Amino acid sequence: MIELRPFASLGAANHGWLDAHHHFSFAGYYDPARTQWGRLRVWNDDAIAPKSGFPPHGHQDMEIVTYVRAGAISHGDNLGNKGRTEAGDVQVMSAGTGIQHSEYNLEDQETRIFQLWIVPDARGHAPSWGARPFPKEGRHGQFVTLASGLPEDGDALPIHAPARVAGAFIKAGETVRYATAPERHVYLVPASGRVRIGSVEALARDGVAITGETEVAVTALEDSEVVLVDTD
């Protein structure tokens, strides 16, 4: 099954400083058909105005992965972690037993992120935060694992879930293949460009929900940046 979820069909809320679009039910947006995909609970597409952001607030028992598409996001938390994550890089926060954090765009330009929430394998993990650069050239023509809780993905940012977050840059006319299993749930979003998966064509910021497949073949119809989550 390969289901297109067009960007125009997503939930949305514009708060002035934050222009948010929700692939799954979140905050004031609720769609009973879009509450979760496997363990993937949230995929938010956020544009954050310069010199603004999310003041300190709390999370618990959730794996939160932030993929920066443009600009940079500056993180701080009550564990003493601080960091600035730039476009193309990734940060992971395991909320575990509880964490208070802030996320600000301290730049002079708009910051655009995908923020993903993944349900952990158990409650009560110790909270943590980490970030890592993933150079664009390393992802040309192949999916590179960015964050994972699968044992074979030891080089990725760790999360407490049997899930993988991967990204690729695909040149127009090229096809990149991702191996999965029929019982897994894959959710894919082009950050930019235009791609085809089976008979489905997805534009930038559309969602594609996939299950029942052994392989996901992504053909770029334009130069494209693609992010996916693969969960049980």
Rounded percentage of the chain residues whose pLDDT exceeds 90 = 97
Distance between CA atoms of 76 and 39, rounded to whole angstroms? 26
What mean pLDDT, rounded, does the chain reach? 97
Look up the CATH number of the domain holding residue 125. 2.60.120.10
pLDDT in tens, 168-210: 999 999 999 999 999 999 999 999 999 999 999 999 999 999 9
Nearest to 209 by CA among 177, 193, 231, 179: 231
> Could you read off the pLDDT of 57-83 as tens digits, one per residue?
999 999 999 999 999 999 999 999 999
Domain count, the chain: 1
How far apart are the C-alpha atoms of 210 and 37, rounded to whole Å?
A: 9
Using an 8 Å Cβ cutoff, are 44 and 21 in contact? yes
| Integer angstrom CA distances of residue 32 from 35, 36, 68, 71, 116 | 6, 9, 28, 33, 19
The pLDDT assigned to 138 comes to 84
Q: Please name the residues in contact with 80: beta carbons below 8 A apart, sequence gap of 6 or more.
A: none
Residue 136 pLDDT greater than 80, yes or no = no
Per residue in 92-107, pLDDT tens? 999 999 999 999 999 9
Please check the confidence at residue 89 and state whether its pLDDT lies above 80.
yes
Confidence of residue 33 (pLDDT cuts 50, 70, 90): very high
| Residue range of the domain that includes 50 | 2-231
Residue 134, pLDDT above cutoff 90: no
- Asked if residues 230 and 164 have their Cβ atoms less than 8 Å apart, the reply is yes
Q: What pLDDT is attached to residue 137?
A: 80
Q: b vs e for 68-94, b when ≥16 Cβ sit within 10 Å of the residue's Cβ?
A: bbbbbbbbbbeeebeeebeebbbbbbb
pLDDT at 149 exceeding the cut of 90: yes
Those residues whose C-beta lies under 8 Å from the C-beta of residue 127, and which sit 6 or more positions away, are 79, 93, 94, 95, 96, 97, 98, 99
Beta bridge partners of 170: 224
